[in-house]
Structure 1
Amino acid sequence: MRIAIMGAAGKAGALIAREALSRGHDITGFGRSAKPGVDVVKDALDLTAEDLADVDVVVDALGFFNPENLDLHTTAALHLADLLAGADARLLIVGGAGSLYVDAERTTPLLETSDFPDAFVPLARAQAAQLAASRERTDAAWTFISPAADFQADGEREGGYVLAGDLLETGADGTSRISYADYAIAVVDEAERAEHVGEWISVHAA
C-alpha cells in the first residue's frame, strides 16, 4: 500500500512508519521541517489534493502541544478530510485517550475525572474536539484511533494489542496502557484491513 504519514518525524509517526515499512508498504513522510523520515517538507495546512493523489491511506499523526495552537488538531484533520472527500483513500487519525468514557452510560469521559492530570486537560479537550469534528464527516473515510490512558512513548514492543471501542478498558494487570510501538501495530493493521471506517476505536495492552 501507499501510505502518507503526517508528522512522520514525531514519536508516534516515526514508529508507525517503521511498522509499515517492515511490512513492505510504500511510505511517504510529511513534516514541517527537514528531519529523518520526512520526504516532503510542507505544512499540513498547505497540502493539496494533488499531494495525496496517489496514496491509499493517510495517517494523521500530527502533534500540537502549545496552548496557542491546540486547535490545529481539528483544523488539520478537517483539512485532510477535505482533501480526501469522495476519494477511496482513507484517513487514520492518531487520537487521544481523554475522550474515552469511564462509565457504561457514556456520560463521563476520562478527561473529566479527578485522576486526569490537569496539565493534560487542554490537550485532551482539543483532541476531543478533533474527534467530534471528525465524526461529523460522512464524505471522507476516517478512523479515529485512541490509545490507552498510559500512552508510553518508550514502552516495550510486546507485539500485540486489544481492540476496544469508546469505553476505557484495562488489561489483565488492571491498567490502561499501551506503548507507541504496539499502538503502531494497531494503526497499520487498520490501514491494511479497513475494518473500522467511520468509527472511533481504541487499543490497549492485553
Structure 2
Amino acid sequence: MFLLYYSTTVIIDAFGVWAEDQLFLHKTSLSHLSDILSGKPNRLIVVGGAGSLYVDPEHKVRLMNTPDFPDMFKPLASNMSEAFDSLKTRNDVNWTYLSPSADFSADGERTGKYQAGGEELMVNSQGLSTISYADYAVAMIDEAEQGKHIKERFTVVSE
C-alpha cells in the first residue's frame, strides 16, 4: 500500500510601494508573478486593497470612486484595482485576492475574530468597516490552510 502526501505551496504576495512614480509596479509585479505560476499547482494569495471593493449590490461603483474616498489614496487604489482586474482574467493561476476593510488598522487589536464576505465592502455590527493587520493576517492564514476562495476575491471585517 502506498500513501501519497501532496502539499500545494502557497505563495503570499504582500508587495507594496507608495511612491507615485512606482505605483505601476503593483500591476507589473503581480503580472510577472502570475506568469511564473502559470499552469502550476501552487496557490497565490494576494494582499489586496479595499479601493476596488464595490459599495453597491449591482457592482457598478467601487469604493475608490465614491466622493469620500481620500484623494491621496486614489492613485494607489487605481493601480491595485487594475492589477486585480488583470488577475481575475487568469484561469491558469490558482489565485485568491484578499481585500481588507476600508480602515486597515496597523495598530489594531488582534481578536482572532472576523467576518468574511465577497466583492462588496462590509461593515461590522457597529457599522464600521475596519480590520486590524493582526486579524487580517489570521484571515490570510485561514485561507492559506483552507483554500475556500480559489480564483476569487473576498474581504474581511472585524466583528
**1:123 — aligned with what?**
76
TM-score by length of 1: 0.72
1:79 Cα deviation from its structure 2 partner: 1.1
Q: Secondary structure at the match of 2:108?
A: coil
- Distance in 2 (alpha carbons) for counterparts of 1:81 and 1:106: 25
For residues 109-157 of structure 1, the C-alpha deviation after alignment (integer angstroms, 9 at most, x for no partner) is 0001111111000001011011101001010100011000000011110
- Distance in 1 (alpha carbons) for counterparts of 2:65 and 2:153: 19
**1:73 — aligned with what?**
26
Structure 1 residue corresponding to 2:63, chosen from 102, 110, 115: 110
**2:96 — aligned with what?**
143
Structure 2 residue corresponding to 1:170, chosen from 117, 123, 131: 123
- Distance in 1 (alpha carbons) for counterparts of 2:35 and 2:144: 19
Structure 2 residue corresponding to 1:180, chosen from 126, 129, 133: 133
For residues 21-63 of structure 1, the C-alpha deviation after alignment (integer angstroms, 9 at most, x for no partner) is xxxxxxxxxxxxxxxxxxxxxxxxxxxxxxxxx9701100011
- Distance in 1 (alpha carbons) for counterparts of 2:67 and 2:91: 34
1:78 Cα deviation from its structure 2 partner: 1.3
**1:194 — aligned with what?**
147
Counterpart amino acid of residue 122 in structure 1: P
Task: Say how many residue pairs are matched.
Answer: 153
1:64 Cα deviation from its structure 2 partner: 1.2
Please say which of residues 165-174 and 54-63 is displaced more in the overlay.
54-63
1:83 Cα deviation from its structure 2 partner: 1.1
Q: Which has the higher contact order (CA 8 A, sep 6+)?
A: 2
Query: Are 2:9 and 1:56 equivalent residues in the alignment?
Result: yes
Structure 1 residue corresponding to 2:109, chosen from 151, 156, 174: 156
Q: CA RMSD in A?
A: 1.2
Q: Secondary structure at the match of 1:122?
A: helix
Overall identity of the aligned pairs, in % = 46
Query: Are 2:52 and 1:99 equivalent residues in the alignment?
Result: yes
For residues 67-122 of structure 1, the C-alpha deviation after alignment (integer angstroms, 9 at most, x for no partner) is 11111111111111111111111000000000111111111100011111110000
TM-score by length of 2: 0.93
Q: Secondary structure at the match of 1:158?
A: coil
Runs of 5+ consecutive residues of structure 1 not aligned to the other structure: 1-53
Q: Secondary structure at the match of 1:185?
A: helix
- Distance in 2 (alpha carbons) for counterparts of 1:160 and 1:85: 33
